[in-house]
Structure 1
């Protein structure tokens, strides 16, 4: 994506926000937005897909045992997923399960896709299959907790997200998602719990700034001015940083009841094309929900 296109995109988003009545001084911080080119399509992934396709469609595939075929199908599915080709990825994940029905990781991916599509019953079935096959799966509880959060099943969401947080309290994102679920039940208690986790477990990792953002320790304006591009890790791209930053800014504005601004931030998170980040995965769902809320507010029944 060219820089001039990015400039036009941001200008349009700002105009849309202003036209919804949230312009002027209240939206001055939007002038501090940072944009970068979207994450480029990974050439190495594309080459690996071509190689796997050759193997899977070759007559020699008949000489490969089912376990290895399942691994090949799964690997190609994961690569498709990383490139944002979700329909092709789903097909391959299902093919992997045809050859190895005990592949917990494939169920975990399918559950994520079902959640993105708001097919929550199917998502729960997939995550429960993953957990049954691998009770210590590193992400199934997180992903089932997020599904429960979006399906408004907050007791289950809190249970799963608490379990995921307990497995690694130093991970700031685990703290954030637990907060989002807890906040639905008791906002004040959720903020106290978030602050306690911050004091007990915080490190210098960038994600803890996002916890400070939710607590109001760091203002939106200061966050935009000082933290968007600060101290990028050696293996971190600007698109990845912005994907996270804008998604959680969207969640902040959502909690404040400013759905117009939240919509802008979720759109910016989606524009980064960091397909493997859960923030990108659920930005589309958040956009749809923000639009529904705004439509209802403009056209009350």
Structure 2
């Protein structure tokens, strides 16, 4: 799922766990899943970055104009996975134009990814103070609360986010991930109820079907290439599919398979998607949880 918004390899045996000091023959790994070629950097974004950099060197720009250019360049850096450069530009922008709500939104995401949850909450609160109609601030604050282990508060924000577009399967999925941390049985009932409003013609509705048990994992994997017309679309779909598969395995206690799927998410290079961003955080958290 984008933050503001075909080429299929043969099935292969995957073992994306890296080096381990104590390998076990009983460890289960992901097997027989489709792969895409990782997305290459968008050359148009790279050219745009160069142009923005040239403009920022001009001496006749107003402060607000510079702030907007830093924000625009920061978004481009972010889309290329250059998070440190993006964060530098976002901080420059907000110092020059403190009322630029969207900058706080991106800064909040970066604080979440750095596990700086207190700062993240402040950033999203500021977004909503500046623009109470900024719906993605509810998503991003809800996600920050989810990872900050405050699932009850997360469900409030994610419920508000879903209410703005009840037919969006991604919104349904994020609300479920938070609700299941509070009450798994009730979360499943709510997931079933929310599924009735989904557009079944949209591919993402199959994520909900998978979680409800209305579709097997084999069926889910088999249809991933349907309706895909190019490599970019396929990589984006795999980015989403593998994130929610990872969360499903994680909830079942099959951590190693979840790790493999999170790594597959990162392998798509779809840096702009929520799923790609938080797959990295998931792996960081899992590494922290590992016994020393």
- State TM-score, norm by structure 1: 0.87
2:234 matches 1:238: yes
2:46 matched residue in structure 1: 46
2:265 matches 1:265: no
Per-residue deviation at 1:240? Answer: 0.6
The CA distance in 1 between the partners of 2:256 and 2:286, in whole Å, is 8
Per-residue deviation at 1:233? Answer: 6.4
Per-residue deviation at 1:265? Answer: 0.3
Asked whether the 8 Å contact 1:240–1:272 carries over to 2, the reply is yes
- 2:26 pairs with 21, 27, 50, which one? 21
Change (3 A) 1:20 1:186: farther
Per-residue deviation at 1:200? Answer: 3.0
2:120 matches 1:123: yes
Question: Any idea what the Cα deviations from partners look like across 1:214-257, whole Å, max 9, x if unmatched?
Answer: 11211222222x22222226795211111101101000101111
Partner SS, residue 139 of structure 1: helix
Question: Any idea what the Cα deviations from partners look like across 1:83-106, whole Å, max 9, x if unmatched?
Answer: 001111011111111221100000
Per-residue deviation at 1:7? Answer: 6.7
2:5 matched residue in structure 1: none
- 1:250 pairs with 246, 249, 252, which one? 246
Asked whether the 8 Å contact 1:247–1:266 carries over to 2, the reply is yes
1:86 matched residue in structure 2: 83
The CA distance in 1 between the partners of 2:55 and 2:32, in whole Å, is 49
Partner SS, residue 164 of structure 1: helix
2:37 matched residue in structure 1: 37
Change (3 A) 1:149 1:233: farther
Aligned length: 282
Q: Using the TM superposition, name which of 233-242 and 30-39 deviates more.
A: 233-242
Where structure 1 has 5 or more consecutive residues not aligned to the other structure, the ranges are none
Change (3 A) 1:279 1:192: same
Where structure 2 has 5 or more consecutive residues not aligned to the other structure, the ranges are 1-7
The CA distance in 1 between the partners of 2:37 and 2:212, in whole Å, is 30
2:291 matches 1:286: no
Per-residue deviation at 1:145? Answer: 0.2
Question: Any idea what the Cα deviations from partners look like across 1:35-84, whole Å, max 9, x if unmatched?
Answer: 111111000000010011011023xxx32222222111110000000000
Per-residue deviation at 1:14? Answer: 10
1:155 matched residue in structure 2: 152
For the aligned residues, what is the CA RMSD?
2.4
Residues 91-102 of structure 1 correspond to what in structure 2 (within 5 A)? 91-102=88-99
Asked whether the 8 Å contact 2:15–2:260 carries over to 1, the reply is no
Change (3 A) 1:20 1:166: farther
The CA distance in 2 between the partners of 1:83 and 1:203, in whole Å, is 32
1:221 matched residue in structure 2: 218
The CA distance in 2 between the partners of 1:12 and 1:122, in whole Å, is 33
1:66 matched residue in structure 2: 63
Asked whether the 8 Å contact 1:263–1:291 carries over to 2, the reply is no
- 2:205 pairs with 205, 208, 222, which one? 208
Structure with higher RCO (Cα < 8 A, 6+ apart): 2
Question: Any idea what the Cα deviations from partners look like across 1:4-37, whole Å, max 9, x if unmatched?
Answer: 9x979x3444998x946244xxx6xx43211111
2:180 matches 1:183: yes
- State TM-score, norm by structure 2: 0.90
Asked whether the 8 Å contact 2:169–2:208 carries over to 1, the reply is yes
